Structure 1
Amino acid sequence: MMFSTRLAMGALLRRAALPTVRRAAWKAGVGGSALALVATGYNSSQIRLEGRPASSLAIGDTFEMKMYLESQRELDAARERKRDTAVQRSRSLVVRLCKRLWFAMDDLLWSPLCTVVRFAHLALLIVPLAAAYPVCATAQWYKLVRFICQHAGPTFIKLGQWAASRTDLFPPELCEELSSLHSNVSPHPFAYTESTLCEVFQVERLDQVFDEFHRTPLGVGAIAQVHAAHRRDTDQWCAVKIIHPRAARIINRDLQIMRFWAATVNMIPTMEWLSLPDEVAQFAILMRLQLDLRIEAQNLTRFHENFPQSVTTKFPQALDMEHTTRDVLIEEYINGFPMGKFLQEKTRIGDPELTRRVSVPFVDAFLQMLILDDFVHADLHPGNVMVRFVRTNKLGTQVISSEQEHDRIVNELKDLSRTHSDALTGKLVCLLTDYTPQICFIDVGLVTELNETNRVNFIDLFNALASFDGYKAGELMVERSRTPETAIDKQGFASKVDRLVREVKQRTFTLGTISIGDLLEQMLSMVRSHHVRMEGDFASMVIAILLLEGIGRQLDPDLDLFESSLPLLREYAINREAHSFLNSTDMWQMGALWVALETKKLMHLTIKEIYNLLKTDQLCPNY
């Protein structure tokens, strides 16, 4: 199922070109310039930094991976530079030798000792969990897993959230329990926030930069917390995100422990199909991406380039790139009504046409990320989506209402949500009638892209699925998996995929819409039971699609993602890639996708029209 939707939705449509040149670059020395260079997509062979070609700085197969690799190189270089500086400051040879000995002891003795202590702390939590497995009911044990993750620190909170997205590896009941996992982290002291910001802005007091700064965080996550503040120089409200102290150190120690246990479990003959060392390596990348807020700032910049002047979609803008560092991010503050609360009210609204005014821009935004941009928000749950209500011109191409009006509306909705639910419902009905809903996406630290290899694999799979050759699609899924040799009963798996594709084919020619979520869940069950190992980016994209349809169908029970994707497929095939359509094999294959979906829609509409004519007796000769 993982493949059927990704392919049918146009996941094969990855643009080969790098993103357009970034207009903003960091002014953080050579390291920051190198990372900014990676983000721009310049010809690295023409530039040299610190006496070496920039092409040696970033070797990655996606935009975010280039950023990640350069971030890690900067971190290692800064550590070595700091140590060399500390040694060179001393004139005495004995002092220099002592400092080098201290650094060696830190690497070989102190750090491993701290890791052992952390291991003992985790053992006190995990051993009782393992001991409870034989005596606890399955559902109760899953709840205990979630409880342990909440109290084991940021790494295990994120690990639980990541595991919740891997239904191809873990039972769906466990994934559902872990999906409700939220951070149980207390905010770090405000003194740390203040000192960090003063160091970044090179001021003595925080009020020299902000004339108002909310000491209570807007939100506290496992890795960072966010404060609202008002800038003196720009007279603008902003959100200030700050990494927790010692977060990187704790996470690195936890990753060392996880690597050890993954290697140990991988030696068990029946467990090697999970490839746990590879999964830990992938998880380590996800964690470290979130430890460098400059990467999130570049993600925001790219999303703004992908949605220029959009009326119905909004991302916060990265502000003050000069003072954005690894630990601090200054971004636009968006005051929106949480999507989760809106979903609670949708049944009281009662009018599908009104709630569809929210679902349509939400689905369209996601499909643009998926089909046109190949740059998808990878943490797309209701907590990271908000709704605002704006006034537009007659053509609906420009927002004419002010930020003050937006804030007034949202604040009124939040007040009503705490007191009068009936009044809230009435207010939402009025707003949905008189205003245009604007979907706001936040927390873009993680995105999903497909590299060239995955794109080729998806194209081959699509050719099989588009022709409803389910057996061939099943064979390709095994052949192109990460560990084809560990798959169980390959022919049986291909036969199951073939039956599922035949079911899709049969439903395509009926009046009912196809629930992509149901298809994905069936496919993930097959993948898990037959030990077919999928690529992590692929699984992340599938979970994003599941979340999309989960939210979209709550707002619009008749949602059909296949049909919703058609306008974007037309735009992709005609406008954005017309210059290379005749010169690219991929373009011909995507043209086949477009024609197939257009034909499906035409046949679906024809059958529906004939059905309506028969139902109303309009085909009777004497009518």
Structure 2
Amino acid sequence: MKKNILFDGLRSVARVGETAVIAARAGIKYATQKPSNAKLMRETFESLGSTYIKLGQFIASTPSLFPREYVEEFQGCLDQTPSLPFSYVQQVLASEFAGRDLNQIFASIETTPLASASIAQVHAAKLVSGEDVVLKIQKPGVETILYTDLNVLHWATKLLEKAVPKVKFASLADIVEEIKMRMVREVDFIEEARNLDDFIQYLNVTNNQAATAPKVYHQYSTRRVLTMQRLYGVPLTDFDLVRKVAKDPSQVLITAMNTWFGSLMMCNSFHADLHAGNLMLLEDGRVGFIDFGIVGQLKPEVWTACIGFMDALQRTNYTRMAESMLQMGMTSQHIDVAVLAGDLERLFSGVLLADPQQILTTNPSDLNDIMMDMVAVGERHGIRFPRDFALLFKQMLYFDRFMRVLAPYTDIYADQRLQMVQTVEQHQSLKH
């Protein structure tokens, strides 16, 4: 134990030194090459690794808190990183299951990862009992580096606020606390396991047999290793394959949307990262929800207003969209609904004509452009949105684009199969 504490302490000191060196290089680059502030920050964050990559993604997905140029620049802050050798993975497994014989748990573990991100690596495996599973394994040193980086960031923001009292974001320290809360949750796989359990319980309570999520093997899971059932299928973004496999692609999306919409009200948190491979059409026809590392939380009244907004967008009722914005946001000034409606019409008239498949597959950053424009419209009218609103709205735009590609002649918000708006009382009674 003392050895681990000493090792973590040395690692923290080394990390502070590494951060200082990279920051110094960035200063030299700024002095000699004069890149834009946003570009220099993105490149520096990518050099600093996992914590700062996650911070960059937070900036990219939170247009309500950061300047547009930074939000746009950080769209390129990807979380895919080179995989670590399997020997590192074995070290983590040996440490997390100390005192237990791994051969009595796993019959086999594939040495080549299915995926590798800044925080974790995913490997396919088979339990001794015969079940196919995936192991989400935290990379060595991630947690120590995370806490060291967050402490440095907290110290730096406090210093900046004292040095520049009128800094644009007066709540910088609060933002860092928000980031810290999110990231600490993301490196605690027990938290992710709870999110999965919560979602599966919701499916059971509602007798939803058309969707599923991976079962967690808690006896083989820790804060740094998550052992889950392996689901087999194709990602919903593989449009051609989905069309071949599914008899009715629109029903697949209706199922996914109904399931997700219900979870917004009935689960403790909602899945906030349903893109690419995180939403699957399984071999048995069910919709599979995977990777619950990034979640959001929203008050029921904000969700109801957001549904009204999307319904009004579908029907191009800009006055109702403006009214919904006022319900989901916060403002301290009088709002002229007609002027706000006019601004929204100018914003969304072009969005509705855009090619949805190109937005989803070629240039998904367009979704963030839409969000940033909407946030800018809100700010001009003194409207401040809840922090998790960007996560929610981006997810709903993804669903809108999925439907326009897979079922272009379906009016999703008028479809009788779509059960989005149920009373808060019904949801709350089921939740409790």
TM over 0.5: yes
Deviation of 1:537 after TM superposition, in Å, equals 2.3
Q: SS of the counterpart of 2:198?
A: helix
Q: Per-residue displacement from partner, 1:481-532 (whole Å, max 9, x unpaired)?
A: xxx6xxxxx557876434357899x9xxxxxxxxxx7985542122455675
Equivalent residue number for residue 295 of structure 2: 447
Query: Structure 1 residues 263, 545: closer, same or farther in 2, change over 3 A?
Result: farther
Counterparts of 1:117 and 1:142, CA distance in 2? 24
Does 2:135 align with 1:240?
Answer: yes
Equivalent residue number for residue 152 of structure 1: 48
Counterparts of 1:475 and 1:575, CA distance in 2? 21
Equivalent residue number for residue 543 of structure 1: 394
Deviation of 1:159 after TM superposition, in Å, equals 1.4
Deviation of 1:229 after TM superposition, in Å, equals 1.0
Query: Structure 1 residues 338, 132: closer, same or farther in 2, change over 3 A?
Result: farther
> 2:293 is aligned with what amino acid?
G
- 1:471-620 residue pairs with structure 2 within 5 A? 474=326, 477-479=329-331, 490=333, 496-500=339-343, 522-528=373-379, 533-558=384-409, 560=411, 562-563=413-414, 567-569=418-420, 572=423
**Of 27, 30, 37, the match for 1:127:** 27
Deviation of 1:254 after TM superposition, in Å, equals 1.3
Q: Which 5+ residue runs of structure 1 have no aligned equivalent?
A: 1-81, 87-101, 391-436, 485-489, 507-516, 581-623
Does 2:312 align with 1:312?
Answer: no
Q: Per-residue displacement from partner, 1:124-178 (whole Å, max 9, x unpaired)?
A: 4543565588556xxxx76665444333210111112222211223455654553
Deviation of 1:325 after TM superposition, in Å, equals 1.3
Any conservation in 1 of the 2:272–2:294 contact (CA below 8 Å)? yes
**Of 196, 202, 205, the match for 1:300:** 196
- 1:317-328 residue pairs with structure 2 within 5 A? 317-319=215-217, 321-328=218-225
Any conservation in 2 of the 1:229–1:240 contact (CA below 8 Å)? yes
Q: SS of the counterpart of 2:21?
A: helix
Any conservation in 1 of the 2:16–2:148 contact (CA below 8 Å)? no
Equivalent residue number for residue 212 of structure 1: 108
Counterparts of 1:476 and 1:366, CA distance in 2? 19
Sequence identity (%): 23
Does 2:18 align with 1:118?
Answer: yes
Q: SS of the counterpart of 1:536?
A: coil
Q: SS of the counterpart of 2:219?
A: helix
Deviation of 1:374 after TM superposition, in Å, equals 5.9
> 2:389 is aligned with what amino acid?
F
Query: Structure 1 residues 251, 561: closer, same or farther in 2, change over 3 A?
Result: farther
Deviation of 1:471 after TM superposition, in Å, equals 7.4
Any conservation in 2 of the 1:470–1:497 contact (CA below 8 Å)? yes
- 1:13-412 residue pairs with structure 2 within 5 A? 113-114=13-14, 116-124=16-24, 126-127=26-27, 130-131=30-31, 146-170=42-66, 175=71, 178-202=74-98, 205-232=101-128, 234-266=129-161, 268=164, 271-273=167-169, 275-308=171-204, 310-319=208-217, 321-340=218-237, 342-343=238-239, 354-373=248-267, 375-390=269-284
Counterparts of 1:463 and 1:184, CA distance in 2? 36
> 2:400 is aligned with what amino acid?
E
Between structure 1 and structure 2, the one with the greater Rg is 1
Counterparts of 1:530 and 1:261, CA distance in 2? 32
Counterparts of 1:172 and 1:557, CA distance in 2? 31
Any conservation in 1 of the 2:11–2:144 contact (CA below 8 Å)? no
Query: Structure 1 residues 360, 144: closer, same or farther in 2, change over 3 A?
Result: farther
Query: Structure 1 residues 229, 365: closer, same or farther in 2, change over 3 A?
Result: same
Any conservation in 2 of the 1:468–1:502 contact (CA below 8 Å)? no
Counterparts of 2:133 and 2:246, CA distance in 1? 35
Query: Structure 1 residues 534, 207: closer, same or farther in 2, change over 3 A?
Result: same
Query: Structure 1 residues 531, 343: closer, same or farther in 2, change over 3 A?
Result: farther
Counterparts of 2:64 and 2:201, CA distance in 1? 33
The count of corresponding residues between Structure 1 and Structure 2 is 400
Any conservation in 2 of the 1:157–1:222 contact (CA below 8 Å)? yes
Any conservation in 2 of the 1:118–1:253 contact (CA below 8 Å)? no
Any conservation in 1 of the 2:22–2:47 contact (CA below 8 Å)? no
Query: Structure 1 residues 226, 502: closer, same or farther in 2, change over 3 A?
Result: closer
Equivalent residue number for residue 398 of structure 1: none
Q: Which 5+ residue runs of structure 2 have no aligned equivalent?
A: 350-366
Q: Per-residue displacement from partner, 1:267-295 (whole Å, max 9, x unpaired)?
A: 53553446221111111111110111111
Counterparts of 1:227 and 1:497, CA distance in 2? 50
Q: SS of the counterpart of 1:563?
A: coil
Equivalent residue number for residue 57 of structure 1: none
Counterparts of 1:550 and 1:568, CA distance in 2? 19
Q: Per-residue displacement from partner, 1:387-440 (whole Å, max 9, x unpaired)?
A: 2232xxxxxxxxxxxxxxxxxxxxxxxxxxxxxxxxxxxxxxxxxxxxxx4322
> 2:260 is aligned with what amino acid?
F
Any conservation in 1 of the 2:302–2:327 contact (CA below 8 Å)? no
Deviation of 1:578 after TM superposition, in Å, equals 8.1
Query: Structure 1 residues 278, 546: closer, same or farther in 2, change over 3 A?
Result: farther
Query: Structure 1 residues 554, 163: closer, same or farther in 2, change over 3 A?
Result: farther
Deviation of 1:475 after TM superposition, in Å, equals 9.6
Any conservation in 2 of the 1:169–1:528 contact (CA below 8 Å)? no
Query: Structure 1 residues 519, 174: closer, same or farther in 2, change over 3 A?
Result: closer
Query: Structure 1 residues 538, 185: closer, same or farther in 2, change over 3 A?
Result: same
Q: Per-residue displacement from partner, 1:293-337 (whole Å, max 9, x unpaired)?
A: 111111111111111264432211101x13321111111111222
Deviation of 1:255 after TM superposition, in Å, equals 1.0
> 1:255 is aligned with what amino acid?
L
Q: SS of the counterpart of 1:271?
A: coil
Deviation of 1:231 after TM superposition, in Å, equals 0.9
Q: Which has the higher helix share?
A: 1
Query: Structure 1 residues 462, 194: closer, same or farther in 2, change over 3 A?
Result: closer
Query: Structure 1 residues 115, 370: closer, same or farther in 2, change over 3 A?
Result: same
Deviation of 1:250 after TM superposition, in Å, equals 0.8
> 2:214 is aligned with what amino acid?
P
